[in-house]
Amino acid sequence: MAKARYSGLALLRHGLVGHPWPAAWRSHELKPSYDVVIVGGGIHGLATAYYLARNHGITDVAVLDKGYLGGGGSGRNTAILRSNYLTPEGVRFYDRSLELYRGLAADLNFNVMFSRRGHLTLAHSDASLRTMRWRAEVNKASGVDSEVVGPDDVKQIVPHMDTSERVRYPILGALYHPPGGIVRHDAVVWGYARAAASRGVHLHQDTEVTAIGVSAGRVTGVRTTRGDIAAPVVINAAAGWATLVADMAGVRLPVQTFPLQAAVTEPVKPFLRTVIVSGTLHVYVSQTARGELVFGASVDPFASYSTRGSLEFTEGLAGHVLQLMPSLAKMRLLRQWAGLCDMTPDFAPIMGPTDVGGFLVDVGWGTYGFKAGPVAGETMAESVATGRTPQLISSFGLERFAQGRLLGEKGAAAVGH
């Protein structure tokens, strides 16, 4: 399907002529077979489909989602981008993602509203200041711009921040990461979906996978609520539901699913350019281009598939935010929601082949999944096309848990989980 090119001129032409824009992608009948089936129509599944088509010419691809595209974690995250991780493997990986994000609007011909804002992770104790120094050194060694700054610098970067010593948890310093920022998460989903569909990928919404066929140790296809599909390659990109999908293929994953809650305020005039994170206060905040403040916290303290918000979350959040920026006391929350996080023991993802031939996983993203979408798609596509695991994800294999080679990315979590 040829896609309309989005441009200022096209906008003017459509405005003058009044024709509706063509649909960004269209629905298809389910084919009885595809070369590749991707389970999960979020950023990871869609990006994988896009790079399979764009980088490797593999277009006989179906993306299946039990709901609507981007209705899971891709539409529920707080859209923060950064590459200031703790392990060299993590830093390199997320930095490639940030690089892809920077060029994504031009690549997809879709305005994803990437906004470089700078990212501050506050330290309220000597121990967290030490971790920030460690992260800054690991970041710099990989060419990633991060440095530890003091409370006066924090005040200069965010004048609304209470950097006094009167508060319960005074700010002792922060890890400042200028390349960090935000992006419009729905636009990323729609941009990848549209670009993948225009290259021949079939996007099937409301199509739930109910079983995965395996014969002689190889995947043979999937059963869905709309019919069976034969496929030599099936990729599990189901995020919060990853273990349920893997179970269908007889693959056990060291993953537990926890809800992560978030909330957004009414819009106000722009006053907060930087993304702010406080691990001690379990909160992160950024201001969107529309002026709303977007907040998130730690994952809920129990495993569950619930995507409902709770009053405990809102109460805790409000107290913690006001400790950082007391001048927000009069702001009103508009909405709250939850997404699902597929947490691994080492806070690093699980990517690549499994013991079932042709059944690959792109799971275990925990609270980092949105940031990784582009690079996960790029590397998963390369894995499928070449049959080899790219260097960038070679440490993220499922076998590391049996071999005791865990990665230890927990120290880079935005907040304590």
Measured from the CB atom, the residue of 248 and 407 that comes closer to ligand PYC is 407
Measured from the CB atom, the residue of 213 and 316 that comes closer to ligand PYC is 316
Contact (CB, 8 A) for 406 and 347 = no
List residues bridging with 351 in a β-sheet.
Answer: 362
Our separate counts of H helices and E strands in the chain read 11, 20
Pairing of strands 209-215, 293-299: unpaired
Residue 30 CB, shortest distance to ligand PYC, in Å, is 34
Measured from the CB atom, the residue of 108 and 415 that comes closer to ligand PYC is 415
| CB-based contacts of 335, cutoff 8 Å, min separation 6 | 263, 264
List residues bridging with 137 in a β-sheet.
Answer: none
163: exposed, middle or buried (Cβ count in 10 Å: 0-12, 13-18, 19+): buried
What distance in Å separates the CA atoms of residue 94 and residue 77, rounded to the nearest whole number? 16
Contact (CB, 8 A) for 181 and 275 = yes
Residue 90 CB, shortest distance to ligand PYC, in Å, is 11
Contact (CB, 8 A) for 359 and 214 = yes
What distance in Å separates the CA atoms of residue 266 and residue 395, rounded to the nearest whole number? 42
Residue 393 CB, shortest distance to ligand PYC, in Å, is 18
Contact (CB, 8 A) for 409 and 91 = no
* Residue number with the smallest Cβ distance to ligand PYC: 414
Measured from the CB atom, the residue of 32 and 416 that comes closer to ligand PYC is 416
Measured from the CB atom, the residue of 65 and 409 that comes closer to ligand PYC is 409
Residue 288 CB, shortest distance to ligand PYC, in Å, is 14
Contact (CB, 8 A) for 251 and 243 = no
Residue 360 CB, shortest distance to ligand PYC, in Å, is 24
Task: Give the interface with ligand PYC as residue ranges (CB under 6 A).
Answer: 78, 80, 82, 284, 296, 367-368, 413-414
Residue 173 CB, shortest distance to ligand PYC, in Å, is 18
**Backbone angles phi and psi of 6, in degrees to 5:** -85, 125
Measured from the CB atom, the residue of 375 and 413 that comes closer to ligand PYC is 413
In single-letter form, the type of residue at position 259 comes to: P
Residue 17 CB, shortest distance to ligand PYC, in Å, is 42
Residue 78 CB, shortest distance to ligand PYC, in Å, is 5
Measured from the CB atom, the residue of 214 and 293 that comes closer to ligand PYC is 293
Measured from the CB atom, the residue of 113 and 385 that comes closer to ligand PYC is 113
Cα first-last separation, the chain: 44
Contact (CB, 8 A) for 258 and 345 = no
What distance in Å separates the CA atoms of residue 206 and residue 22, rounded to the nearest whole number? 22
Residue 295 CB, shortest distance to ligand PYC, in Å, is 10
Measured from the CB atom, the residue of 362 and 409 that comes closer to ligand PYC is 409
